[in-house]
Structure 1
Amino acid sequence: MTQGHVARGRFERAVRAVLRQPADDDRPLVGYAALGAGYAVTAAAALAASARNGTTGRPVSSGDLALITVATHRLSRLITKETVTAPLRARFTTPVGPGMASEMLEEVSTDPRHDPFSHAVGELLTCPFCMAQWCATALVGAHLVAPRQARLVTSVLTAVAGADALHYVYASLDRLPKPSD
């Protein structure tokens, strides 16, 4: 058994003991705890980088917040639903069928009782609402650490979200009854 497996086993036993999770509870609480710890470490690292840059106390402007909001929506759907990002999710999901335009419907493919970590990651990678928290944190962190570059990224994502909305409007207009000649 590798050192990683030993550490993982210890972590899993410790979390189950703290949470007092009964044996018949098949929720991947250990996986959720690991993801939560990873999120906390990532957010702390972003704050530390921001503190080093002297930007910790600087508020995000309302214009940047608007960009971040729309960009968060677009990025979370890109990661969790788009066909082109399916390879990122493939280890954790099983395709169910097509979703909305250029999107896939997938379900988590791991049994939470056998691999709570992979199951929790699969849930994160298939839920745009769950992923939005991570995306928003990353984008706000980027705005604090590298504002010019972050504005470029959020502007592109916001433009793509706007274009997506226009595609849906155009498609819905195309479905309207045609006037007779």
Structure 2
Amino acid sequence: MTTDTVRYEGEGEEPLGGYALLAGTFTAGVAVFAAVARRRGVRLPRTVPPWDVALMGAAAYKGSRLLTRDKVTGFVRAPFTRRESEDEASEVTDTPRGHGVRRAVGELVSCPFCTSAWLAGVLVCAYASAPRATRLVCGGLGALTVADWLQYAWTWTQQATEE
């Protein structure tokens, strides 16, 4: 057991040092953004309309699926994960490998829920400094989310008519 892993009673080892490094990186990134934005005079929006929240939510959802489950983005995950299976709609499931920071990164890049928090943070920072461009990117990812659901609806319809 390395110094950055801890075994909880009755559980496996957790790379707490790696988690701390990742959390520190996220926090430092937000702090750097805030300092640079303030220095450059970026004016934060007074409010964020609900539709922008929904758009950023759809974008964070789809972006996290693309990064954590898409075959084509496997090159990002490969140093930190191993392929577990291929799922429906050509999505893949990868599992973390290694120890310490490598395992912590593997858990981040293989977990859509974890990755969506990071993407939401990036989108919020982007929205604060370039809302129009961020809406455009989020709109594209939102359109992919709608397209996915339409693909599933088509598949379900076909399967229902074949039964």
Structure 2 length as normaliser, TM-score? 0.88
Q: Distance in 1 between matches of 2:134 and 2:33?
A: 13
Q: Hey, what does 1:142 align to over in structure 2?
A: 126
Q: Distance in 2 between matches of 1:135 and 1:62?
A: 18
Counterpart residue identity of residue 164, structure 1: D
Q: CA deviation at 1:22?
A: 6.9
Q: Which has the higher Rg, Structure 1 or Structure 2? A: 1
Structure 1 length as normaliser, TM-score? 0.80
Aligned residue runs from structure 1 range 16-165, under 5 A: 26-51=13-38, 52-56=40-44, 58-110=46-98, 112=99, 116-165=100-149
Q: Deviations over 1:87-146 (max 9, x none)?
A: 000000111120221211111121x3xxx1010000000000111110101011100011
Asked whether the 8 Å contact 1:50–1:141 carries over to 2, the reply is no
Over 3 Å counting, the alpha-carbon distance change for 1:42 and 1:54 in structure 2 is same
Counterpart residue identity of residue 26, structure 1: E
Percent identity of the aligned residues?
Answer: 34
RMSD, matched Cα = 2.3
Q: Distance in 1 between matches of 2:105 and 2:93?
A: 16
Q: Distance in 2 between matches of 1:120 and 1:99?
A: 23
Counterpart residue identity of residue 62, structure 2: R
Q: Distance in 1 between matches of 2:22 and 2:43?
A: 27
Counterpart residue identity of residue 130, structure 1: C
Q: Distance in 2 between matches of 1:39 and 1:29?
A: 15
- Pairs aligned (count): 159
Three-state SS of the structure 2 residue aligned to 1:55 is coil
Q: Distance in 2 between matches of 1:143 and 1:99?
A: 33
